[in-house]
Amino acid sequence: MRKLVVLFAVMVGVVATAQRRGHEKGEPGNMKDLTLEQMATLQTKRMTLALDLTDSQQKQIQSVNLENAAHRMEKMDEMKERRESGERKKLSTEERYSMQIAMLDRQIAQKAKMKQILNKDQYAKWEKLKLGEGKRKGKRTEGRRERGKRK
């Protein structure tokens, strides 16, 4: 009996620590505690390492990243406000369409800015990095869908 209790306690401890592991490694979940400037700086530093940016490129990309962080924070606040007010209604097709158009317009503008700032090799590498990021996100949502289907 005593061995069963010890075994159960160990299993509970392992399960509890396994579920928290992702948030301790600096994954995006911890980004919400940072200021806009801190988020932009971190992203710029990561891009500097990946793309070997010059000082002037870093300054330009820092401002782009700051602008993007401000936009993301604004959208997150809007969604949080809607969720808390209970106003989470299903969007009409026209609303979803306009949201998608706005998002794609921002992405096109982002691409144009990056094309002006980066040289050809850096831009090609940045494109590859962006494509890889989308694949990772897709895999995460696919996993969630799979789990939802099993229930």
Tell me the whole-structure pTM to 2 decimals: 0.64
pLDDT value at 24 more than 60: no
pLDDT value at 99 more than 80: yes
pLDDT value at 93 more than 80: yes
Q: How far apart are CA 77 and CA 96, in angstroms?
A: 18
Task: Quote the percentage of the chain above a pLDDT of 70.
Answer: 72
Angle formed at CA 120 by CA 134 and CA 37, multiple of 5 degrees: 60
| pLDDT band of 149, cuts 50, 70, 90 | low
Angle formed at CA 68 by CA 136 and CA 113, multiple of 5 degrees: 95
Task: Quote the percentage of the chain above a pLDDT of 90.
Answer: 40
**Two structure tokens written together for 142:** 């696919």
Domain ranges of the chain: 35-83+95-119
pLDDT at res. 63: 93
Instruction: Answer with the residue of higher pLDDT: 148 or 130.
Output: 130
pLDDT at res. 151: 46
pLDDT at res. 59: 93
Instruction: Answer with the residue of higher pLDDT: 30 or 86.
Output: 86
**DSSP states of 129-150 as a string?**
HHHHHHHHHHHHHHHHHHHHHH
Q: How far apart are CA 68 and CA 48, in angstroms?
A: 17
Lowest mean per-residue pLDDT among 25-29, 63-67, 112-116: 25-29
pLDDT value at 53 more than 70: yes
Lowest mean per-residue pLDDT among 4-18, 21-35, 84-98, 125-139: 21-35
pLDDT value at 64 more than 80: yes
